[in-house]
């Protein structure tokens, strides 16, 4: 199907303006349609619609509509570029003006979560335990989104994710107890403790919890 480029550009002008204003008001440097010189090397050939830059809080912004009908990386493949990059996060925007409110993610299928789980297991076997550990917690939250009809799918704290999964019967009490101290370890890694390193056994606890939450 042919893509009407002019309509696509017009449809994104207002969201881009509003998002730019909101980020700039919060002290970010905003670059629309950045070039290779504006991006770190781990982006490879990927070019987001915009980036918002602030020390330790950089954001790559992709508008959903601008990728319709375009070849290239999938959103899942783009997300993987940011594994192990604690100073960056990737968001998909449908419009709106609040840069601190993350876009509501689509519900992930069980098959999609299990595929990502397998990828993380492979990553852990390659020695990238920190990255696999942190991403594992995101899969636990994705599993919660699938089963909690009351949630609006906004980001939740790790402890809240555990409480909700246990309340709904998707985590055993024993598994929740195992995971509690690991939530603290996850927070240390995410918030810049470069000495924090999950063990093989601790990583396996998270992987088993994801499988349990999907069962």
Q: Which CATH number fits domain 110-214: 3.40.50, 1.20.120, 3.30.70, 1.10.3720?
A: 1.20.120
Q: pLDDT above 90 covers what percent of the chain?
A: 41
Q: Can you give the C-alpha Rg of the chain in angstroms?
A: 18
Q: For residue 106, is pLDDT > 80?
A: no
Q: pLDDT above 70 covers what percent of the chain?
A: 80
**The model's pTM:** 0.53
Q: Would you state the pLDDT for residue 150?
A: 52
Q: Please give the mean pLDDT across all residues of the chain.
A: 80
Residues of the chain with CATH 1.20.120: 110-214
Q: Would you place residue 94 in the very low, low, confident or very high pLDDT band (cuts 50, 70, 90)?
A: low
């Amino acid at each position: 199907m042919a893509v009407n480029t002019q309509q696509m550009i017009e449809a994104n002008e207002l969201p881009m303006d509003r998002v730019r204003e909101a980020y700039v008001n919060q002290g970010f440097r905003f670059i629309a349609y950045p070039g290779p010189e504006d991006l770190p090397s781990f982006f490879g050939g990927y070019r987001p619609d915009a980036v918002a830059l602030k020390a330790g809080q950089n954001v790559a912004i992709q508008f959903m509509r601008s990728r319709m009908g375009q070849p290239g990386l999938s959103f899942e493949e783009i997300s993987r570029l940011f594994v192990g990059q604690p100073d960056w996060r990737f968001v998909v925007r449908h419009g709106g003006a609040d840069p601190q409110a993350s876009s509501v993610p689509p519900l992930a299928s069980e098959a999609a979560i299990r595929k990502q789980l397998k990828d993380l297991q492979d990553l852990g076997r390659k020695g990238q335990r920190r990255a696999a550990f942190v991403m594992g917690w995101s899969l636990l939250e994705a599993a919660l989104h699938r089963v909690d009809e009351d949630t609006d799918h906004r980001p939740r704290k790790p402890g809240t994710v555990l409480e909700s999964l246990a309340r709904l019967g998707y985590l055993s009490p024993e598994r929740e107890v195992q995971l509690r101290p690991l939530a603290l370890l996850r927070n240390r890694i995410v918030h810049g403790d470069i000495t924090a390193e999950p063990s093989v056994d601790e990583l396996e606890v998270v992987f088993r919890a994801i499988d349990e939450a999907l069962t």
